Amino acid sequence: MTTDLQQARLEPRAHTRASVEELARRYSTWGRWGADDELGAANHVTQETVRHAAGLVRRGAVFPLALPLEGDGPQLGAGGRVNPQHVMLRTPAEEMFDDGGLVRFSDDAVYMALQCSTQWDALCHIFYDGQAYNGRDFSSVGAVTGARHNSITNLTDRAAGRGVLLDVGRFVGRELEPGESIQREHLEACAQAQGVQVGTGDFVLVRTGQMTQRRGAWGDFSGGPAPGLGVSTADFLCPRDVVAVATDTWGIEALPYEAPDVVAPLHVILLAYAGIYIGEMWDLDALAADCAADGVYEFFLTAPPLTITGSVGSPITPLAIK
């Protein structure tokens, strides 16, 4: 049965700096795990949650959720976020050794912004009113050293657990349009329709369908008007103690932002205060088709960051295993 939630356009809701700050205070986890904590919601990942998630593997079907790291990717260069530049350092046409060319090697290199494609945002990615997660100030990220605190490398051994797909695009029967804003009730209704619950230690993946529309013809995918999560989704994610949320969009939030006087208001609430990690530009289409086919929307997920010391974000190749 089609509900009103599915039929109606997903309209953005007006928020202000005051309403964003109220949610940030409500869901702040500063000090919850101690004054020196840098893991945030990743504290919910335990041996027990990983063991439970591993038990979700039934078929051994593996779904890579990353975009290719290539020069024709979605980035337009804003803020230095260019698409990866892959170069060959050596090809097998070149001789290296005095053996008549019997043994040849090939080597390559890549230059890329660490948030150029499918990625995690670290807890130090965003500061609000001078502070990042757990009260860290600007000095916690240096121009040379990078992140002294709250680096994405803290997630390395915690980026595994139960993944849950909330396929909002399929739930409403279409790919969402730029500016449409997913609200708390949409996530609740989608989860109910799919017969899945979201709880402590989960990694929540939300599909809008925007990547389905834009794949290979990116246009203004990077920073342009986009469907995404509205501020009210904090009321769904934070009380459930999820570890992370990721979407198939460039910046996870609906663009334009719902709070005109706060840039990236949901980033502020989730990253800076709740300590919930954010994943962006995840390729969810193949996984979503499989979930729709077998009716199973939970799976084992692993998505460790690169261990680049001081990094504030990282490209990843997430794997969903069913």
pLDDT digits 0-9 by tens, 236-283: 999 999 999 999 999 999 999 999 999 999 999 999 999 999 999 999
Share of the chain above pLDDT 70, in %: 98
Strand arrangement of the beta sheet that strand 277-280 belongs to: 62-64, 319-321, 298-302, 160-167, 203-207, 244-247, 277-280, 119-121, 313-315
Q: Are 161 and 49 in contact (CB under 8 A)?
A: yes
Residue 133 three-state SS: helix
Q: What's the whole-number mean pLDDT along residues 290-318?
A: 97
Residues 106 and 17 in one domain: no
Q: Does residue 68 sit in the same domain as residue 216?
A: yes
- The answer on 183 and 271 residing in a single domain is yes
Query: Does 223 fall in a domain?
Result: yes
Tens digits of residue pLDDT in 133-187: 999 999 999 999 999 999 999 999 999 999 999 999 999 999 999 999 999 999 9
- Whether 84 shows a pLDDT value over 70: the answer reads yes
Q: What is the CATH number of the domain that holds 33?
A: 3.50.30.50
Do 303 and 161 touch, CB atoms closer than 8 A? Answer: no
In a domain, 107, yes or no: yes
Alpha carbon 236 to its chain centroid, in Å, reads 16
Given a contact cutoff of 8 angstroms between Cβ atoms, the answer to whether 43 and 37 are in contact is yes
80 within a domain of the structure (yes/no):
no
pLDDT attached to residue 6: 63
The total number of structural domains in the chain stands at 2
Burial class (CB in 10 A: 0-12, 13-18, 19+), 112: middle
What residues have CB less than 8 Å from 94, skipping those under 6 apart?
A: 104
Asked, for residue 215, whether it belongs to a domain, the answer is yes
Residue 269, in any domain of the structure: yes
For residue 42, give the 3-state DSSP assignment.
helix
Mean pLDDT of the region 68-91: 89
The pLDDT tens digits of the residues spanning 98-124 come to: 888 888 899 999 999 999 999 999 999
- Domain of 107 in residue numbering reads as 86-111
Q: What value does the mean pLDDT of the chain take?
A: 95
| Tokens of residue 263, six digits | 């840039």
Residue 182 lies in a domain: yes
Question: Which residue in this structure is represented by tokens 């078929």?
Answer: 59
> Same domain, yes or no, for 67 and 149?
yes
What would the two tokens of residue 310 be?
Answer: 């001081």
Which residues make Cβ contacts (< 8 Å) with residue 45, sequence separation at least 6?
158, 159, 160, 161, 201, 243
Is the pLDDT at 1 greater than 50, yes or no? no
182-206 b/e with 16+ CB inside 10 Å = b?
A: bbbebbbbbbebbebebeebbbbbb
